[in-house]
DNA sequence: AATTAATGTGTAATAAGTACATGTTGTGTA
DNA sequence: TACACAACATGTACTTATTACACATTAATT
């Protein structure tokens, strides 16, 4: 926070105040989607020469009159057409060398979206889903950002009912379990998984069954209304 | 006070192509200390007219050629004389109205320091320790920042051996328990606490006893070398 | 020698987590 | 129509973690 003393120090060092505005701030969104039993992330081909052939996360500079979160929502809505998505701030990356064209500090958010939602619509030909498991290298420090967000997501899912933002409104317990398995990259025991979920009391039994399967259908569940909280988890 | 005006001027000066550089970025440090069985935080009197009478966290603008973490370490070292302190990034606060003199986005770090360390030395008369429990209101959004950092600290201490950065090298289990109680603001059972700590295997029995007490002294322990990791917990 | 104040230690009860197998149901096919 | 299939639904024994709780010991002080 710039208080008197700090700015005095700056003045003594003959640093013009304008220098402090030579840093740009951006947001980067790690947009997770779930499809075909895989956790995916939305990437775009990098347009920087330095990173030609590499993909990068979706991000943008923050506008001077725009909240950090608003900026993330803007990126999300612009790129995917989705509003009211789940969004959570994870970490801010601010090493000096991280952007080749200048000083850019970026705040990373992760977001969970239901790829089957009727509003979901990619606005750009170069936007593609990539299986998180298969991503080896990304432009900038985006691999680090992705890892950090994935780690955060993993630590959230047993504590908070967030993964439902990746699913349609109705789902079977098998689908839910497959989703957990995809995110955590582990195999789970069906009975223990159900017990654990049951104890959390997140789900509403919809008294409906799966349809169009070539085997016994499972019951369908939905997330209880009270847990349908979107947006960021702002504290206190 | 005149400096804040300069800041504002700078912010307004260039609204054309420099638009995206009209945001300043700062770091704020929630510096925790432990003394007299209380968790304290280091605060300074705000010099802003808007916040006269209120205290604020220690922070500074990030310099264009400086990593975000470097900036936090600089603030810490400048204000406390301490190097190699424990520092962890918590959250970035970026709402548009949070700073009265202009657009400033701030990244909050918390830091744990041993107030008895020989290097510890406050460099400013207006710097004071305040009991976290007693803090009602702070300048800017610093109360929110403090709460967020306190919450993070609380969630860390049972998982990671971080609190030892608040203690001297040698301590008794009673002192350690009192520290946990101060941070969590709860009373703990002695036997269960010891069991929990024992299981973590963080401590080295120093084969020494407390001295100068008017009652039975306790054994002294130290943190095992392998856990003496300072600095930020950078991910993967 | 007695008092004081805090140390050090264990067990029983409950709750949570893990490993694991059998009968059931709807669909498709012979 | 009955048989095979594939996935559903469910419970128990075992281990590990958490909680609640009381008494003998030690060093300093009087």
Percent of chain A with pLDDT over 70: 88
How far apart CA B63 and CA A22 sit, in angstroms, is: 9
Which stretch of B77-81, B189-193, B213-217, B221-225 has the lowest confidence by average pLDDT? B213-217
Chain B residues with CB-CB distance to A61 below 8 A: 20
* Tens digit of each residue's pLDDT (9 = 90 or more) over A70-108: 999 999 999 999 998 999 999 999 999 999 989 999 999
| Structure-token match 């548009």, residue found | B96
How far apart CA B6 and CA B24 sit, in angstroms, is: 13
pLDDT at residue B20 in the model: 58
Q: The tokens of B55 are what?
A: 């205290």
Percent of chain B with pLDDT over 90: 83
How far apart CA A85 and CA A31 sit, in angstroms, is: 10
Topology (CATH) of B2-156: Nucleoside Triphosphate Pyrophosphohydrolase (3.90.79)
pLDDT at residue B22 in the model: 85
Which stretch of A55-64, B12-21, B195-204 has the lowest confidence by average pLDDT? B12-21
Backbone angles phi, psi at A221, to 5 degrees: -125, 160
* Tens digit of each residue's pLDDT (9 = 90 or more) over B5-54: 333 344 334 333 445 568 999 999 999 999 999 999 999 999 899 999 99
Topology (CATH) of A169-227: Arc Repressor Mutant, subunit A (1.10.10)
| Residue of chain B minimizing CA distance to A6 | B60
Model confidence at A229: pLDDT above 80: no
Please tell me if residue A23 touches chain B, with a CB cutoff of 8 Å: yes
* Tens digit of each residue's pLDDT (9 = 90 or more) over A169-202: 999 999 999 999 999 999 999 999 999 999 999 9
A110, A28 contact by CB (below 8 A): no
pLDDT at residue B1 in the model: 32
Backbone angles phi, psi at A31, to 5 degrees: -95, 110
Residue at minimum CA to C1' distance from nucleotide D4: A215
pLDDT at residue A123 in the model: 86
Q: In CATH terms, is domain A4-156 a member of 3.40.50.300? A: no
| Structure-token match 């349908």, residue found | A228
Q: The tokens of B164 are what?
A: 């030892």
A235 vs B86, which has greater pLDDT? Answer: B86
Percent of chain A with pLDDT over 90: 83
Distances (CA, A) of A208 to A198, A222, B113, B115: 18, 10, 57, 62
Model confidence at B104: pLDDT above 50: yes
Please tell me if residue A7 touches chain B, with a CB cutoff of 8 Å: yes
CA Rg, chain A, in Å? 21
For chain B, the structural domain boundaries read: 2-156, 169-227
* Tens digit of each residue's pLDDT (9 = 90 or more) over A1-53: 444 334 434 433 444 445 556 899 999 999 999 999 999 999 999 989 999 99
Q: Chain B closest CA to A15's CA: distance in Å? A: 9
Query: Closest nt to A213 (CA→C1')?
Result: C27
């Amino acid at each position: 926070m710039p208080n008197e003393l700090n700015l005095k120090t700056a003045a003594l060092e003959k640093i013009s105040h304008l220098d402090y505005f030579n840093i740009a701030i951006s947001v980067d969104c790690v947009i997770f989607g779930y499809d075909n039993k895989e956790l995916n992330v939305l990437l775009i081909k990098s347009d920087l020469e330095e990173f030609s052939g590499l993909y990068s996360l979706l991000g943008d500079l923050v506008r001077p009159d725009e909240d950090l979160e608003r900026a993330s929502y803007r990126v999300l809505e612009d790129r995917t057409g989705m509003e009211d998505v789940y969004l959570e701030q994870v970490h801010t990356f601010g090493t000096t060398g991280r952007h080749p064209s200048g000083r850019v500090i970026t705040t990373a958010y992760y977001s969970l979206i239901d790829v089957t939602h009727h509003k979901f619509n990619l606005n750009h030909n170069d936007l593609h889903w990539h299986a998180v498991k298969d991503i080896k290298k990304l432009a900038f420090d985006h691999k680090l950002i992705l890892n950090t967000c994935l780690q955060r997501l993993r630590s959230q899912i047993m504590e908070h009912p967030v993964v439902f933002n990746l699913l349609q409104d109705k789902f079977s317990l098998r689908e839910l379990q497959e989703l957990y398995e995809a995110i955590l990259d582990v195999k789970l025991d069906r009975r223990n998984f159900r017990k654990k979920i049951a104890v959390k009391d997140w789900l509403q039994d919809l008294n409906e069954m799966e349809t169009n399967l070539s085997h016994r259908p499972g019951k369908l569940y939905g997330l209880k209304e009270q847990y349908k909280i979107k947006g960021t988890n702002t504290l206190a």
